[in-house]
Structure 1
Amino acid sequence: MHRRNFFKLTGTCTGGLLLLPDFLYSYALQENLTPGDSCLVFIQLNGGNDGLNTFIPYQDELYYKYRPAIAINKNDIIAGHNGMGFHPALKGLADIQQKGDLTVIQNVGYPEPNRSHFRSQEIWVTAAPNEYLSNGWLGRFLDLQCDAHNPTASINIDNTDTLALRGNELNTITINNPVGIKNNIENKTGILSQNPQLDFVRKLSNSVNESADKIKTALNKAKPADISYPKSQTSKKMEWIAGLIKGGLNSKVYYTSLSGFDTHEGQLNKHKSKLAEVSDAVHAFYTDLKAAKKMDEVTVVIFSEFGRRVQDNGHGTDHGTAAPMFIIGGKNKGKVIGKNPDLVNLDHGDLIHEHDFRSVYAALLKDKFSFDPKQIGINNAALTGIF
């Protein structure tokens, strides 16, 4: 069976109603992954998030000179320190930073940046700026970590698959609505069809019923959150991920994305809304897992394929290069790593990257999993100071 066909049957065409938490719990209680409870949660901001209007150099007058149409007023900046501060919509992230659980890595990018959404996203998820690879960096990592096929080594909660998790083995599944598997399984009588691929899915589905005791035990471990998550798609995804983690799912990677960051026009309102959705969702997730005493084990990574141009276009911003990454939880040091954005020395109007994103990946693999990133082709030295 081809991986792509499997995903069409289980993740996309079924509307995410076939492979769900009950299934996940029954299959993931294996011991063929990296020991320990550490896991990574990735939130990919699709479209190219404007880093300069996210973590803002509000004491640099050039910021206001270059951005007369979209600059954020100094009086509205929150959690300001050392010339940098958060967009006012990021109250949740600012609170996490004030608590010492959020690290900002400034000016992240890669050499000879590509300003195409598709190609730059591909570069970030394969960790190969100069190659075209069919497998993602996390997929390659999981290929080496799983002793045998494990469909829940990583979970992608989205409408479409992500190249980041694609490997030689099927160590990931894509779902978009982890609710109600028992009421949505077809062919409960066990009679097989003439479609071997569909039969494979049905066999997996039937195994859920056969594992009812394990399912109930695992689900009972996931206590309901003591807080109310905001009403947004991103919040719902983060609530599902939190439930899987609290319930003891032995997945090492959770992945999701949010679109809408391609702000060529109407940026002020659009960007504010998107930032608030991410910030509020992540803060609820953080609060939930803090109460469950899980945040030391969980590391959230927020990134985008590139930033925006320094000069606004009168209505928004065009495609740029470097931008900040955010690391939350996982016993990070809560620092701001890197220099403030250099608005004097630009590369054709764009920021010059200071940190290669692959160095961040190397640090995550080394610290969270004691894994040598060179095994999957990441030869960059691990960025120090995150953990």
Structure 2
Amino acid sequence: MKRREFLSTAAAAAAAFALPPMSFGAALMRAGNSGSGCIDVSTNAISTSAASGRKLLVLVELKGGNDGLNTVVPYADPLYYQLRPRVAVSRDTVLPISERAALHPALDPLMPLWQNGQLAIVQGLGYPQFNLSHFRATEIWDTASDAHRYLREGWVARAFAQAGADHAMCGGGLVVGSAEFGPLAGASHIATAPMPSSLGAVLGAQGKPDAAVIRITLNGFDTHFNQRERHAALLAQLARGIDALHAALLELGLWDDTLVMTSSEFGRHPRENDNGGTEHGSSAPHFVLGGRVRGGLYGAPPSLSQLDGNGNLPMAVDFRCLYATVLRSCWGCDAAVVLERYFEPLPLLRV
């Protein structure tokens, strides 16, 4: 998905959870054409969706490998500035959220959610034997596999299969702005939404994608060069998109029943390269947002003095612990069955 389309599409995707049949495509077209991200949804649609009891998961993929160190900035660590003399975010511009960590200034639209305790940041997400190939690393995150295993179905698709037809989560999935089903690969009911300019003809005949999961992809995070400007613009698009999504879900009365979660195939190398960018790295922080989220910092801050043999950050939390949290606390699934072994859930949701 192009960056300029993310804002309107993110807000419009929220309407997929609530709109009556045949109106979803039209709503996306209105949002895409206006550029405002505003959705006109009737009160009947709101009350119908709220009464359904469904839980909505919005997966926001930051494709290319988001730089975690410049997203959640370790501004109190002098090693950060030594490793990144050109790429580092200036200390006098960051948005402190603790004595050690701060958000990139472009993420300012997310600060109200942080202050209201509805934004959790899980630091150091990764897995053992990290893979730095875009394709393979994405596949690992999508299927929740070990680094050496190859699974065909996405982790959400396996959850659908385990839950059964009568479970509240089994409304299917909606993939926006990407040809890849990712964590929904193998699911039986998936609707797809192309770019906003062509949504009318494609979705007009599809009716309502009664979604339990919406996946949105934001491209461009493979920042090997000129990272400061490129990454700031990407994070600004992300923050404005999530802010618009939050506003739409509040208006629909669905924010308390929604979980928004970011993912990316890997982070970036702690040391900048010669082109004003960063190479592929390992673990990174990710965001979890929602009305029932216990906001705060989870995991462990990046330890720049204890890099591995390749100069990359060690893992603090296995990313499948986050998936286990969603599966158990949000959907009531047997996470050990879906993920094929037990991973400790994180205490970041109010049940």
TM-score normalised by structure 1 residue count: 0.72
Aligned partner of 1:323 in structure 2 is 284
State the aligned residue count. 300
1:50 matched to 2:67? The reply is: yes
Superposed, 1:145-160 pairs within 5 Å as 145-147=163-165, 153-160=172-179
Superposed, 1:79-118 pairs within 5 Å as 79-118=96-135
1:162 pairs with one of 170, 181, 186:
181
Residue-by-residue CA offset, 1:150-189 (whole Å, 9 max, x unaligned): 995111112413231012x5221222157898x748xxxx
Aligned to 1:75, the other structure's residue is in SS state coil
- CA drift of 1:94 comes to 2.2
Aligned partner of 1:219 in structure 2 is none
Q: Summarize the Cα distance change of 1:179–1:46 in structure 2 as closer, same or farther, 3 Å threshold.
A: closer
Residue-by-residue CA offset, 1:309-350 (whole Å, 9 max, x unaligned): 111113110000000010000401101102211011111210
Matched-pair contact (CA < 8 Å) for 1:53–1:87? yes
Structure 1's unaligned 5+ residue stretches are: 1-19, 27-34, 186-200, 209-214, 216-243
Aligned partner of 1:70 in structure 2 is 87
- CA drift of 1:36 comes to 2.4
| Aligned CA-pair RMSD | 2.7
Matched-pair contact (CA < 8 Å) for 2:170–2:212? no
1:340 pairs with one of 291, 294, 301:
301
Aligned partner of 1:278 in structure 2 is 238
Matched-pair contact (CA < 8 Å) for 2:178–2:217? no
Q: What's the % identity of the aligned pairs? A: 33
Matched-pair contact (CA < 8 Å) for 1:143–1:171? no
- CA drift of 1:47 comes to 0.5
2:226 pairs with one of 266, 284, 287:
266
Matched-pair contact (CA < 8 Å) for 1:21–1:179? no
Aligned partner of 2:269 in structure 1 is 309
Select between 64-73 and 130-139 the one with higher mean Cα deviation. Answer: 130-139
1:354 pairs with one of 316, 325, 328:
316
- CA drift of 1:65 comes to 0.6
Q: Which runs of 4+ in 1 moved over 3 A?
A: 20-26, 177-181
- CA drift of 1:23 comes to 4.5
Aligned to 2:267, the other structure's residue is in SS state coil
Superposed, 1:171-186 pairs within 5 Å as 171-177=189-195, 184=201
1:134 matched to 2:134? The reply is: no
Residue-by-residue CA offset, 1:336-366 (whole Å, 9 max, x unaligned): 1022110111112100011000010001110
Matched-pair contact (CA < 8 Å) for 1:152–1:172? no
2:53 pairs with one of 18, 29, 36:
36
User: Structure 2 counterpart of 1:89, which letter?
Assistant: A
- Give the Cα separation in 1 of the matches to 2:263 and 2:299: 16
Aligned to 1:353, the other structure's residue is in SS state coil
Matched-pair contact (CA < 8 Å) for 2:336–2:343? no
User: Structure 2 counterpart of 1:251, which letter?
Assistant: A
Aligned to 2:106, the other structure's residue is in SS state coil
Aligned partner of 2:260 in structure 1 is 300
Q: Summarize the Cα distance change of 1:21–1:268 in structure 2 as closer, same or farther, 3 Å threshold.
A: farther
TM-score normalised by structure 2 residue count: 0.79
Matched-pair contact (CA < 8 Å) for 1:138–1:165? yes
Matched-pair contact (CA < 8 Å) for 1:358–1:380? no
Aligned partner of 1:230 in structure 2 is none
1:374 pairs with one of 336, 342, 350:
336
- Give the Cα separation in 2 of the matches to 1:267 and 1:180: 31
Structure 2's unaligned 5+ residue stretches are: 1-18, 26-51
- Give the Cα separation in 1 of the matches to 2:115 and 2:124: 21
- Give the Cα separation in 2 of the matches to 1:66 and 1:22: 53
Matched-pair contact (CA < 8 Å) for 1:105–1:325? yes
Aligned to 1:309, the other structure's residue is in SS state strand
- Give the Cα separation in 2 of the matches to 1:106 and 1:159: 27
Aligned to 2:59, the other structure's residue is in SS state strand
- Give the Cα separation in 2 of the matches to 1:180 and 1:61: 49
Matched-pair contact (CA < 8 Å) for 2:163–2:170? no
Matched-pair contact (CA < 8 Å) for 2:320–2:339? no
- Give the Cα separation in 1 of the matches to 2:130 and 2:239: 27
Name which one, 1 or 2, has greater alpha-carbon Rg.
Answer: 1
Q: Summarize the Cα distance change of 1:319–1:289 in structure 2 as closer, same or farther, 3 Å threshold.
A: same
Matched-pair contact (CA < 8 Å) for 1:139–1:171? no
